[in-house]
Structure 1
Amino acid sequence: MTDRAIKPITVTLGEMTKRAQAHVASGRYGSISEVVRAGLRALDREEAALDALIKARVEQALADPRPLLSGEDVSASIAAHHANRRARDA
């Protein structure tokens, strides 16, 4: 499917309108549509990078040889951490 086969849509940019217009005025983009498409491509790259980071962190956690902690151990550790911070900040 080509871009010509896709129906135009209306997007309300609100406060971002002036920023989009400034990008067009700079000459880097020919239209606000190009600005929006560039923004969507940047969002795709950002989401792909975050997905890769999450996947790497999950793989790292699964490969961690240390024994698992129980929920009670985690809760106790968090409570102790906060108690130490409160005592230090007091």
Structure 2
Amino acid sequence: MAMVKKTYSITETLNQYIGLRIKSGEYATDSEYVRELIRRDQQENKEISYIRSKLIKAEQSGFTNQVKEEMLNEFKSELRAYGEL
């Protein structure tokens, strides 16, 4: 995938924190760290959207007779189907 160059301004405190993350060896560069943060944000938003859609669906469907274990198994099956579990 083609890379796009961007420039951001951050505080010295944030810069030092990024430097510590790189020094720890977890990330090689500032860019790698920022890309990982963006990927995590994308995943988090995907999960929030999924949960939100389930809550809306549940609210619209009314009460259920399912027990907790049945609901949990159903959610896990759906997550597996989406490759999330």
TM-score, normalised by the number of residues in structure 1:
0.63
Paired with 2:51 and 2:10, the residues of 1 have a C-alpha distance of 30
| Larger mean Cα displacement after TM superposition, 39-48 or 15-24 | 15-24
Instruction: Please give the residue correspondences for 1:1-90 in structure 2 after superposition, counting only pairs within 5 Å.
Output: 1-3=1-3, 6=4, 8-14=5-11, 15-64=13-62
State the 1:13 CA deviation.
Answer: 2.4
State the 1:12 CA deviation.
Answer: 1.6
> Once superposed, which parts of structure 1, at least 4 consecutive aligned residues long, lie more than 2 Å away?
none
Paired with 2:48 and 2:8, the residues of 1 have a C-alpha distance of 26
What residue ranges of structure 1 are gaps of 5+ in the alignment?
66-90
- Counterpart code for 2:9: T
What residue ranges of structure 2 are gaps of 5+ in the alignment?
64-85
**Structure with bigger gyration radius:** 1
Q: Which has the higher helix share?
A: 1
Identity %: 18
RMSD of the TM alignment (CA)?
A: 1.3
State the 1:19 CA deviation.
Answer: 1.4
TM-score, normalised by the number of residues in structure 2:
0.66
State the 1:2 CA deviation.
Answer: 1.4
